[in-house]
Amino acid sequence: MDTHRVPLVRPSLGESEAEAAARVVRSGWVTQGPEVAAFEAEFARAVGAEHAVAVANCTVALELALRTLGVGPGDEVATVSHSFVATANAVVATGARPVFADVDDDTLGMDAARLELALTPRTRAILCVHQLGIPCDLEGILAVATRRGLPVVEDAACAIGSEVRWQGRWERIGRPHGRVACFSLHPRKVVTTGDGGVLTTSDAELAHRFRLLRQHAMTVPDTVRHHSDRVFFEAYLEPAHNYRLTDLQAAVGRPQLARLDAIIEERRALAAVYHEALARSSVLAPPRELPWARCNWQSYPARLRDGSGPGQVAVMQHLLDRGIASKRGVSNAHQEPAYREGRRWTCGPTPCGVGHAAGHCARLPRSERLRDTTLLLPLFHGMTADEQQAVLAAVAALEPGVRRSS
């Protein structure tokens, strides 16, 4: 049981989701079927994509996207270390090696100016991340990708409902602007099905390939076989896996997609309250939303101000003592035990060689600083005004001269 008075996130699931799940249970068809197909169509409409393909989780989606674009053993993928470890893990799962570029201070995503440093003769794709739902510099990244003839995969795990200003109009992340965008449906995300993932693309051939590979490369889906009035046998075209989403999960996601606009509006309103309050704080600074981006505020990353006094751990403990959950800033794969060994990753065609064995890299200073100076404050749709004021009261108690009583 969660003992925090204000959790970092609280999934907003109610009667509409319960009834949707019950509908599937009563139908007798609970694996991938009509609910998944409906969810895919509704997801595609929600983000403005031509095709959406649902899978078991976002890590699987990233791996499928990379594999289908031809990434394999001996290749390299330019990406960021400053992300949930699944981003790097998906590259490694294909047999390729991640090459890490540093990030931008405002977007927390790939710095297009630093991307060139991560490109090598072995680079087969670019994997950028819309970190915490904050759109990365797609225009700059795609300009580099176009010059180098490389496909771009967007790790949009957190970014459903986020938007970028694109060629004079606002467009949602997932249209997509690269070849493929990959979303997560984990409980911490804006739309959740318990777990799950979605790939979106404008390429019908890629979408067909995703649908094939998510189901053992089986030529005839079981839904088609089930409703057929003829006997026939399916074939399995190549070694593949079971990456399907279930109808139970898809049904739970559909009511949330229906109210996505309202969800985003509510989250942006909560973020605006934080923005105003933290602009006056001498301890925590609000994130900056660039003019060409609209964030869904999947998470709210506050930054420790320079010379503010208490460090990251002290601030988090202060909040925890007052019943407020928080989370350290986005992790860096190269600083995790799984990636401490430099042979599993690099930072460019000529690695800097500085501190790799100890989990440091001279070419990733922003990534390392952001991990240690950022913390996530509670923000979720359904958050009450009292809950948010409790967070802000705890933050205010960090100010110099304010009595810090538990």
Report the alpha-carbon distance of residue 253 to residue 17 in Å, rounded. Answer: 7
Tens-digit pLDDT profile for residues 263-290 = 999 999 999 999 999 999 999 999 999 9
- Work out the pLDDT band at 2, boundaries 50, 70, 90: very low
Q: Exposed, middle or buried, 393 (CB in 10 Å: 0-12/13-18/19+)?
A: exposed
Is 1's pLDDT higher than 60? no
> Of residues 130, 189, 254, 267, which has the active-site annotation?
189
Check residue 226 and give its pLDDT.
67
Helix, strand, coil share of the chain (percent; to 5):
40, 15, 45
Chain length of the chain:
406
* Spatial distance between the Cα atoms of 85 and 289, rounded to a whole number of angstroms: 25
Q: Which residue has the tokens 């985003």?
A: 264
How confident is the model at residue 140, as a pLDDT?
98
Predicted confidence at residue 234, as pLDDT, reads 82
Write down all domains in the chain, each with its CATH number in brackets. 15-258 (3.40.640.10), 261-396 (3.90.1150.10)
pLDDT value at 213 more than 80:
yes
Q: What is the pLDDT of residues 92-140, one digit of tens each?
A: 999 999 999 999 999 999 999 999 999 999 999 999 999 999 999 999 9
Pairing of strands 152-155, 123-129: parallel
Comparing 148 with 222, which gets the higher pLDDT? 148
Q: Which of 261, 249, 13, 268 minimizes the C-alpha distance to 133? A: 268
Predicted local confidence at residue 301, as pLDDT = 98
Which residues 6+ apart lie within 8 Å of 233 measured at CB? none
Determine the pLDDT at residue 220: 78
Instruction: State the average pLDDT over residues 23-46.
Output: 96
In angstroms, the Cα distances linking 55 to 51, 109, 182, 272 are 13, 24, 10, 34
Q: Give DSSP secondary structure letters for 230-286.
A: S-----B-S---B-PPPHHHHHHHHHHHHTHHHHHHHHHHHHHHHHHHHTT-SSEE-
Task: Identify the residue with better confidence: 285 or 224.
Answer: 285
- 269-296: b or e for each residue (b if 16 or more CB lie within 10 Å)? ebbebbeebbeebebbbbbebeeebbbb
- Closest by alpha carbon to 175, among 187, 186, 192, 162? 162
Query: In this predicted structure, what is the pLDDT of residue 402?
Result: 57
Q: Measured between alpha carbons, how far is 198 from 402 in angstroms, rounded to an integer?
A: 47
Helices H / strands E in the chain, number of each: 13, 14
What percent of the chain stands above pLDDT 70? 96
Q: Is residue 176 reached through a cis peptide bond, with omega within 30 degrees of 0 on the bond before it? A: yes
The tens digit of pLDDT for each residue in 301-337 reads: 999 999 767 899 999 999 999 999 999 999 999 999 9
In the DSSP assignment, the letter for residue 57 is -
Q: Is 236 left (phi over 0), alpha (psi -120 to 50) or beta?
A: beta
The residue that leads in pLDDT, 29 or 131, is 131
pLDDT at 401: 58
Q: Indicate the average pLDDT of the chain.
A: 94
Question: In terms of Cα–Cα distance, which of 93, 184, 79 is closest to 141?
Answer: 79
pLDDT the model gives residue 293: 98
CB 91 within 8 A of CB 79: yes
pLDDT digits (tens, 9 = 90+) for 390-403: 999 999 999 885 55
Is the pLDDT at 237 greater than 90? The verdict is no
Active site annotation includes 189: yes
Answer whether residue 3 shows pLDDT above 70.
Answer: no
Bridge-based pairing state of the strands 152-155 and 180-184: parallel
User: Is the pLDDT score of 4 beyond 80?
Assistant: no
Answer yes or no: is pLDDT of 405 > 50: no
Share of the chain above pLDDT 90, in %: 85
